[in-house]
């Protein structure tokens, strides 16, 4: 579920007033951090904060951090160094600037952040961001606040209901967190230590939030979790529901046209979830299912608790019920002890699955994880060479999948204006960005289009209103 990009994420618009404070939230990493930033913005809107996309205008700057990639903490400290200079300049002219660090780096390095970066007023972990408004009030009274304990209360119960205007301002697609944390303890991964053990949100919370989103104009919802298909909760019928059961229920919400979910673990891909892919038209034919390596020896060392054959058998079962499904995955090259033969096994599984898209990374040591202490660390130049080979194969497969779409008529959800006048960008059922000539008044509509061409990162289409999408 993790990306290596960092993008500004603005919270929803609030009621502006002459004395209103402005907040800028910079979001690093995964989709769950994007969701968390939005919900923090909702909480701050009730405190009178309005969003800004210009950091220089902000009275409050929050860095919502990710700890997955290499040197994540160093990047945060570098950003804080720049904010220190900005804060000093503000104070010189009598203007307030508060700085907060939230997210997984905050969870992992809370005390160290306060020690190394005096510019920081507030440090909030991912389980306690509902307490952010209170922490800011305390910081304004002169305290430096750190709150990274795992909350005993359910943070989602304490978050404000998002009003329709704020939802509408965000667009026609939305994330919705249903599960947090992970109990798998893969030896390369820091998530269990920063997000905690697996926790599933109750059914009523998820359905209520989904209905609120749809009432605000959302047409597509992506369910989020560090291990989303491990979601389990008691359903209204008194029995334990799995993610498949939840998807069947969400599909009944009028106006909710599309469903997706990410990120999944192969060991939690149960029969009910596979049946949902067979039965639900609103569940898009796209699945992100990381395998990480094609070598059984490396998979065991990673503590993945499945084999390459297990994974391939699972892929076959899913494709039998949904032949048009597009597969995405994650791969790590250069895990400690990986040999040339192990890497060739990874290339082999990529060739067998044939991915529509995938994310691949060099292994990087995450302090505190078992992998950090393993012998036989792979040299950086070897990791770089392997990554180059793997990415070349994955990009070739991605391009081939895009070309296979040319000539197809698909249903396209129109999401936002394109770069050129008269152009709108939508998403295909397989999560590809598609450019088509359409009116901005059509945003939110699902229209049939014919794919007529491919670009480096998107497809091109023409309207096909007289045809039925396939």
Percent of the chain residues past pLDDT 70, beyond the cut: 93
CA torsion 233-236-242-247 (nearest 10°) is -120
Does residue 261 surpass a pLDDT of 60?
yes
Q: What phi and psi, each to the nearest 5 degrees, are found at residue 103?
A: 90, -160
Q: What is the pTM of this model?
A: 0.86
What integer pLDDT is reported at residue 15 of this predicted model? 37
Q: Which residue has the tokens 């909710």?
A: 256
Does residue 17 surpass a pLDDT of 80?
no
Q: What phi and psi, each to the nearest 5 degrees, are found at residue 207?
A: -65, -40
Where residue 456 falls (left for φ over 0; alpha for ψ -120 to 50; beta otherwise) is alpha
Could you give the CA distance from residue 247 to residue 149 in angstroms, rounded to a whole number?
A: 32
Cβ atoms of 108 and 190 closer than 8 Å: yes
What integer pLDDT is reported at residue 70 of this predicted model? 64
With 0-12 / 13-18 / 19 or more C-beta atoms within 10 angstroms meaning exposed / middle / buried, residue 142 is: exposed
Contacts for 92 with CB less than 8 Å, ≥ 6 apart: none
What integer pLDDT is reported at residue 3 of this predicted model? 36
Of the candidate ranges 66-75, 113-122, 137-146, the one whose mean pLDDT is the lowest: 66-75
Could you give the CA distance from residue 274 to residue 318 in angstroms, rounded to a whole number?
A: 6
Selection from 48-52, 62-66, 336-340, 366-370 with the highest mean pLDDT: 336-340
What integer pLDDT is reported at residue 469 of this predicted model? 41
Residue whose C-alpha is closest to residue 34's, from 215, 174, 212, 150: 174
Could you give the CA distance from residue 335 to residue 348 in angstroms, rounded to a whole number?
A: 17
What integer pLDDT is reported at residue 206 of this predicted model? 96
Mean pLDDT in the chain?
90
What integer pLDDT is reported at residue 152 of this predicted model? 55
What integer pLDDT is reported at residue 30 of this predicted model? 82
What integer pLDDT is reported at residue 294 of this predicted model? 98
Strand 459-463, strand 446-454: pairing: antiparallel
What integer pLDDT is reported at residue 163 of this predicted model? 72
Give residue-wise pLDDT tens across range 22-66. Answer: 999 999 878 888 988 988 888 898 888 999 999 999 999 999 988
- Angle, alpha carbons 431-433-434 (nearest 5°): 120
Q: What is the average pLDDT across 178-197?
A: 90
Contacts for 51 with CB less than 8 Å, ≥ 6 apart: 10, 11, 12, 13, 14, 22, 23, 24, 25, 41
Quick one: pLDDT band at residue 153, thresholds 50, 70, 90?
Answer: low
What integer pLDDT is reported at residue 170 of this predicted model? 83
Q: What is the average pLDDT across 209-236?
A: 95
Q: Which residue has the tokens 């989103």?
A: 213
What integer pLDDT is reported at residue 207 of this predicted model? 96
């Amino acid at each position: 579920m993790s990306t290596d990009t960092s993008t500004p994420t603005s919270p929803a618009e609030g009621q502006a007033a002459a004395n209103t404070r402005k907040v800028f939230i910079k979001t690093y990493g995964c989709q769950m951090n994007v969701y968390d930033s939005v919900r923090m913005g909702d909480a701050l809107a009730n405190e009178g904060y309005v969003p800004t996309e210009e950091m220089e205008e902000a009275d409050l700057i929050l860095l919502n951090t990710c700890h997955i990639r290499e040197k994540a903490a160093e990047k945060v400290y570098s950003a804080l160094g720049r904010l220190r200079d900005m804060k000093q300049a503000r104070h010189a002219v009598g203007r307030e600037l508060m700085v907060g660090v939230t997210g997984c780096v905050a969870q992992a390095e809370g005390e160290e952040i306060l020690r190394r970066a005096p510019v920081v007023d507030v440090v909030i972990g991912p389980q306690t961001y509902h307490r952010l408004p209170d922490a800011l009030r305390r910081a304004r009274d002169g305290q430096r606040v750190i709150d990274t304990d795992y909350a005993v209360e359910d943070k989602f119960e304490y978050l404000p209901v998002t009003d329709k205007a704020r939802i509408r301002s965000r667009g026609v697609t939305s994330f919705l967190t249903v599960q947090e944390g992970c109990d798998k303890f893969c030896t390369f991964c820091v998530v269990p230590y920063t997000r905690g053990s697996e926790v599933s949100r109750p059914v009523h919370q998820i359905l209520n939030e989904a209905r609120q989103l749809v009432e605000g104009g959302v047409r597509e919802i992506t369910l989020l979790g560090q291990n989303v298909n491990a979601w389990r909760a008691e359903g209204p019928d008194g029995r334990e529901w799995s993610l498949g059961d939840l998807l069947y229920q969400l599909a009944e919400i009028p106006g909710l046209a599309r469903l997706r979910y990410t990120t999944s673990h192969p060991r939690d891909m149960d029969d009910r979830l596979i049946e949902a892919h067979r039965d639900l038209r609103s569940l898009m034919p796209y699945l992100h299912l990381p395998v990480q390596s094609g070598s059984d020896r490396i998979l065991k060392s990673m503590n993945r608790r499945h084999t390459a054959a297990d994974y391939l058998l699972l892929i076959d079962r899913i494709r039998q019920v949904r032949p048009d499904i597009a597969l995405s995955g994650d791969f790590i090259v250069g895990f400690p002890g990986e040999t040339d033969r192990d890497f060739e096994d990874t290339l082999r599984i990529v060739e067998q699955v044939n991915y529509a898209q995938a994310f691949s990374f060099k292994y990087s040591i995450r302090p505190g994880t078992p992998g950090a202490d393993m012998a036989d660390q792979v040299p950086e130049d070897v990791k770089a060479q392997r990554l180059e080979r793997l990415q070349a194969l994955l990009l070739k497969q991605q391009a081939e999948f895009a070309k296979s779409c040319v000539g197809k008529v698909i249903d396209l959800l129109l999401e936002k204006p394109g770069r050129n006048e008269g152009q709108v960008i939508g998403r295909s059922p397989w999560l590809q960005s598609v450019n088509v000539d359409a009116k901005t008044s059509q945003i939110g509509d699902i229209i049939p289009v014919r794919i007529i061409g491919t670009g480096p990162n998107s497809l091109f289409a023409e309207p096909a209103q007289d045809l039925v999408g396939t």
